[in-house]
Structure 1
Amino acid sequence: MGNLPVVTTSFVGRISELGDAARALEKHRLVTLTGSGGVGKSRLALRAADRASERYADGVWWADLSHLYDDRLLIGTVSDAVGLLDHDLARPVEALCERLADRNLLLVLDCCERIIDSCSHLVRELLAAAPGLAVLATSRKPLGVRGEYRLDVPPLAAGGDGEEAMRLFRDRAATAAPHVALDTPGTTAAAVRICRRLEGIPLALELACARLAENSVEQIADRLGSRLDFLTDRTVWPERHRALRTAIGWSHELCTPTERLLWARLSVFPGAIEEADAQAVCSGGPLRADAIPALMARLATQSVLQHNGSRYRMLDTLREYGAMWLDELDERKPLAQRHAEHFADVARQAHTCWLGPQQVAWYRRIAETDADLCAALDHLLAEGSEKAVEMAGCTGLFWSCCGHLQRARVYLERALRIDSGRSKHHTRALWALGITLTLQGDHESAREFGERCSVAAWHDHDAESMLSAAHLVSFNYLMMGRPQTAHDVSDHALRSLPGDPLAAPSQLRCRVIRVFALSALGRLDDAYEDATNLQQLSLRYGEYWARAYADHQLALIHLLQGRPREAEDHARSMLAGKYQLRDSLGIALGLDLLAGAIAAQGDGVEAARTSGTGHVYWRMIGHPHRGTPELGVIRDAWERQAREAAGDPAYDSAYHRSLTADAESGLVRALQGHLPS
């Protein structure tokens, strides 16, 4: 159980350090691997965590902090890493502490150095709240938390042919240039010289090996030696980093001018990089957009970039070097602006295409560019740009649907503070924040934003704005247990503003509220008709979000009217749709319904398993109410049915096994193996 990243290159040496790390983790709850950039702290932490995984019943969880330049996203990043989505209104740190309080797990915090004070504070609170928690951190300096055990990660031993640095050099050389022989006395001696001159630093050795396709081992040894002797690099790195600085600088010099320019410009990306995004942000001057994919591939062969599927990543140390040259070129500010404007446009496109066959693809796009969207919003907010208001409103629905409520709330509140209120972007941001507050259970604040959103929509004279306001107000009433008022508000809006949902996607959202309100009021025949119409409308546009909620209501109605087999089919269909969108709230609701349908058919043990998996998702989300209020009574009735069918011991055993199992595995079982790709 866990989320350790998959690495395709081999792990070489470090036997002594792995042993030290294993012994340290047995005795200490906080172990920090310290060392300079490029020395291999992250790879060592990954291998050490993997080896220790059997000791932690609740798994090993990895949080990559390398893209964080301030502390605002730290809690959200760590929460995401351990599978906690933030529907809870409690302070994020409190929710995270509560999530981990009874867990026995290892949390790996990779690259703490930029936000070292915030990491120290968080680790201190987590260790105090969760006695079964251990933390393995990597950082260029220790966290300074009481009880911390520090392990300094040295470079690889670089003494001779049998040493670790030489083994790494041979391994990476075989990948980069399989035609190069290292078994002659001359090449072996030259390789040993390289390992010594680069002081056994893994990143430096990988950069050197990447040049073997164009240079002999002897040439590399001579040139690196010369560069060390006459170092005139304009960096300000400490003297102890001279070997790494030399390797990076030499690799940089061997790049073509356009490769160097791209390296510098790519440093503006905090996370993984798509070719299309690089073309949009980095092109200009001598760097043509159509040349960028080939240049990125070339930088990957030189180990400047790491290629993973359709995306690239740049190691933090190399990004720092690129950023230094971006400053030298006086391009940091314009590149940050281009990056921000590009991802604001991505958010705008996602919002525009929400209703349609590309809906799932846009949900995934937003999830995969998370770090860039946050960086873009931070930049636009710092500039005081009203584009930040538009962007926050566009991403708000995606983030709230996928459980990132605290992030959505923080950015929307910041955006509204700089908003002039002169455009429909203002209305959209009010709507998105109101939905977020409702999902967090802050109904009084949501009511206030519903009123503000309604006034703003009236000034807009725009159907989408007015439907959005109605959606927010009626949704808040529904979650407060007032389905009649929720029905009246949504129904009035739909009757007053008919038309094509493509022109006003919130029409579909209001339809979802109306059908939920009808079933809560016991008007099941009306609800069935509404849900069927909603399903057909969603199918016409090829969208998943509203269709899944139509399936939810059809499953509920079939179940309440004594047709559990039909209810089971609709519940599975809902789960499939919500899995496509990675909508954990929808998955939790669907699992509850599926458990009820299975219980009604007499399989109490399978119902217990499904209910246990559902509880895992509810616990992940931290949702205080587990859906609309009326579902609680119905859920209790399903549980009684399942217990009567299975017997209390069998029910409790199956339930608790699912409760402690991996959430995704439980979902696969619930879908009977038909997991969408």
Structure 2
Amino acid sequence: MGVRVRGQGEGAGRPERSGRGAGGLIGRSAELAALRRMLAQSRLVTVVGGAGVGKSLLAEHAAAAVGSSMADGVVRVRWWDGAPPRRRTVAQTVTAAMDGGSADASAPVAELVARLRPLRMLLVLDDFDPVRGECVRLVRELLDAAPELRVLATGRHPLGLGQEAVLRLGPLEAADTDTVGPAVTLFLERLHAARRRASSPSRGRTPVPEDRTADELRLARDICRLVEGVPLAVELAAAQAARHPLARLAGMLESTQGWLGVADAPLRRHRSLRAAVGAGYELCGTVERTVWARLSVFPGGFDEDAAVYVCSGGGLEPEDVPAALARLVLASVLEPVRDPGGVLTPRYRMPAAARGFGAERLRSAGETAAAVSRHLHWYGQIASTAHHLWSTGTHKRAVVLVRDEEANLRAALDREPSGGDEASTSLALAVDLWFWWAVCGHAEEGRVVLCRLLPMARSDTRVCGQALWLSGWLAACTGSPEAAELLGQAWRVAVLAGDDATVGRVSHVLGALALEAGRTEEAIDRLREAAETIPVHAEHGPPATVSWALLAVAQAGGRPADAWRSVRRASTGPEPRHDLWTRSMTQYAQAFVDHSRGRRSRAWRRARKALAGAVGVVGAAEVPAVAAMAGPPGAELIHRLIADIEAGGR
């Protein structure tokens, strides 16, 4: 018995779309080998994955590979979507496939079971999602009655039978490195094929000019990264190369991807990315659809608490959300970032194609503004939590939290506030992340965010003064000429608001700038004012200890006794005992003062400790530290001091 293919619905019996079948599998050798092993060990194997990841193509190749070992061959049944199904049961459709297309419309399940009982056969149930419930019942009966039968199924959701082995198929690797991964290989192969078709003389079209090899590879990587390596999306994007230059195509994919499509795909749902994702949406219940749409406001990973906060309301109870998340994971709409059964809190992410489709559903329901607002308020709380973690000295936890939530925090800050209240919430969020901008190497990004948000928020509030000061500090860190003006505005707002901490921190930055410019006496005056003005345990910025430490650095050259007293004030403050960053600053000042007094050995040891602290803080963020005196003393600045000590200079 050979391979027989029978479909249900429009397009039954057609061969695979040439774009996907002609070139064979690309980048799936490990998955194909794993699937063959599973078929050898299990009687029921299901390939599960999201829209367009290539489940059917992988199953087709696996069936071809193992078909020769099945004495009675392979029978493949496919349910085509996009058209009303024929009035046949799953058993009748399988019987029709075995008979080459004709079947008795009244053929009972018992008759099929009797036919399959003595056979050694592989039955492929491809794209079973529209008839999943009926497939579950039939497969259970067949496996109980036919001991030599093996079943290979593909769908977005496992069948859920006890003896089922599940292979979860993900996208192709779309790395940002210089290597040519499988997603880029697939894209380039389809790209060149599309260009050849577009420039064929029979079509009478002008060929699209080839990009240079380096540019083509770079743009191919960008496009594959944007579509997240989903094979269907990669192929649909490559098909657009006949119409658009690659640079323009990459720009078009930045905002939305549902428009990707071709007109000649035999499967209706493969004619566009929107249709492919929408086929799964149609199979979801009302609660899952609502949660799917509202989750589209998360561009990055999220946990269950965040999902409940953002998705509940409007007729959806909070207790309904966790179960909907589990069902969306089973339906391959959500991807678990952490194992839901593990020790850590489970996290999820929504692929770009599903997120874009959900955003369209959210807009059509008129719920975008509400979901975006709840997302902003939730991540305002996340930023506040990160700020308090940093303030209590748990720097690594603060940095890890921000890094995990970076995509969502950035989205919350990048969205246009709908009014003054949202602008103030966004501004407070940005101020809470002061350590991320200033200490962890994101000064320019933070400066841009603050400069965009400041004109939208009220100018007479304490948070506005803090934001102006932070913006001025970040401008000083990046060498922007706006620093002095921003700091002047911050001082005026802080004085009117009675915010001593911000007044002192303005003096701190002005003193740091004066020290960097060589105006030592001005720097000493400014830094002393800052150290004496900033209250103990003041939040949203460096503590007074940092000002005392930098004052010691300023005094070290001409006032060694004052410098030693200042560094003692810094080292006896409340922060260094638990604050790694402040301790690193204090150790840097101690090393600087010791070096200026000729105590090279002690200075070298303290500088090495300061370096370990600076590397420990920014190492969790995986970014370089700031190297200017106007900003925190990063690793590069401490390296300079160590080199000077080792060279014997003063």
Which of 501, 510, 523 in structure 1 is aligned with 2:547? 510
Instruction: Determine if contact 2:56/2:126 at 8 Å carries over to the other structure.
Output: no
Which of 108, 111, 122 in structure 2 is aligned with 1:188? 122
| Distance in 2 between residues matched to 1:525 and 1:296, nearest whole Å | 64
How many Å apart are 1:504 and its aligned residue?
8.2
Are 1:404 and 2:442 an aligned pair? yes
Are 1:567 and 2:606 an aligned pair? yes
The structure-2 alpha-carbon separation of the partners of 1:160 and 1:458, relative to structure 1 and needing over 3 Å to count, comes to closer
Q: Which residue type is aligned with residue 398 of structure 1? A: W
| Distance in 1 between residues matched to 2:65 and 2:126, nearest whole Å | 11
Q: Which residue of 1 aligns with 2:331?
A: 302
Q: Which residue of 2 aligns with 1:433?
A: 471
Q: Which residue type is aligned with residue 491 of structure 2? A: S
Cα distance per residue 1:15-56 (max 9 Å; x no partner): 76469xxxxxxxxxxxxxxxxx9545xxxxxxxxxxxxxxxx
Q: Which residue type is aligned with residue 571 of structure 1? A: A
Q: 1:165-564, aligned counterparts within 5 Å? A: 188-191=122-125, 208-213=155-160, 238=261, 240=265, 242-244=268-270, 248-309=277-338, 310-351=346-387, 354-381=390-417, 383=419, 385-442=423-480, 444-496=481-533, 498-501=535-538, 506-519=543-556, 521=557, 523-524=559-560, 526-539=562-575, 542-559=578-595, 560-564=598-602
What stretches of structure 1 of length at least 5 have no aligned partner? Answer: 1-12, 20-36, 41-152, 171-181, 198-204, 218-234, 595-613, 619-625, 643-677
Cα distance per residue 1:153-180 (max 9 Å; x no partner): 99847756545999xxx9xxxxxxxxxx
| Distance in 2 between residues matched to 1:286 and 1:183, nearest whole Å | 50
| Distance in 2 between residues matched to 1:446 and 1:545, nearest whole Å | 24
Instruction: Determine if contact 1:477/1:486 at 8 Å carries over to the other structure.
Output: yes
Q: Which residue type is aligned with residue 478 of structure 2? A: Q
Q: Which residue type is aligned with residue 311 of structure 1? A: R
Which of 613, 616, 621 in structure 2 is aligned with 1:582? 621
Cα distance per residue 1:435-490 (max 9 Å; x no partner): 11111123x42122222222222111122221232223223223333343222112
Q: How well do the aligned residues superpose, as a CA RMSD in angstroms?
A: 4.6
Instruction: Determine if contact 1:380/1:388 at 8 Å carries over to the other structure.
Output: no
The structure-2 alpha-carbon separation of the partners of 1:455 and 1:161, relative to structure 1 and needing over 3 Å to count, comes to closer
Instruction: Determine if contact 1:487/1:517 at 8 Å carries over to the other structure.
Output: yes
Q: Which residue type is aligned with residue 489 of structure 2? A: R
Q: Which residue type is aligned with residue 160 of structure 2? A: A
How many Å apart are 1:283 and its aligned residue?
2.0
How many Å apart are 1:431 and its aligned residue?
0.9
SS state at 1:415 partner: helix
What stretches of structure 2 of length at least 5 have no aligned partner? Answer: 1-21, 29-49, 68-75, 77-115, 132-151, 165-257, 339-345
Instruction: Determine if contact 1:463/1:504 at 8 Å carries over to the other structure.
Output: no
| Distance in 1 between residues matched to 2:350 and 2:314, nearest whole Å | 23
Cα distance per residue 1:116-166 (max 9 Å; x no partner): xxxxxxxxxxxxxxxxxxxxxxxxxxxxxxxxxxxxx99847756545999
How many Å apart are 1:549 and its aligned residue?
1.0
How many Å apart are 1:269 and its aligned residue?
0.4
| Distance in 2 between residues matched to 1:325 and 1:184, nearest whole Å | 49
| Distance in 2 between residues matched to 1:291 and 1:270, nearest whole Å | 22
SS state at 1:398 partner: helix
The structure-2 alpha-carbon separation of the partners of 1:578 and 1:354, relative to structure 1 and needing over 3 Å to count, comes to closer
Q: How many residues align?
A: 427
| Distance in 1 between residues matched to 2:486 and 2:61, nearest whole Å | 69
| Distance in 2 between residues matched to 1:517 and 1:292, nearest whole Å | 57
Q: Which residue type is aligned with residue 278 of structure 1? A: A
| Distance in 2 between residues matched to 1:322 and 1:345, nearest whole Å | 25
How many Å apart are 1:576 and its aligned residue?
5.2
The structure-2 alpha-carbon separation of the partners of 1:237 and 1:189, relative to structure 1 and needing over 3 Å to count, comes to farther
Q: Which residue type is aligned with residue 447 of structure 2? A: R
Of the two structures, which has the highest relative contact order with CA contacts closer than 8 Å and spacing of 6 or more? 1
Cα distance per residue 1:576-625 (max 9 Å; x no partner): 542465385548799xxx9xxxxxxxxxxxxxxxxxxx9xx86xxxxxxx
Q: Which residue type is aligned with residue 305 of structure 1? A: L
State the structure with more CA Rg.
Answer: 2
How many Å apart are 1:315 and its aligned residue?
1.0
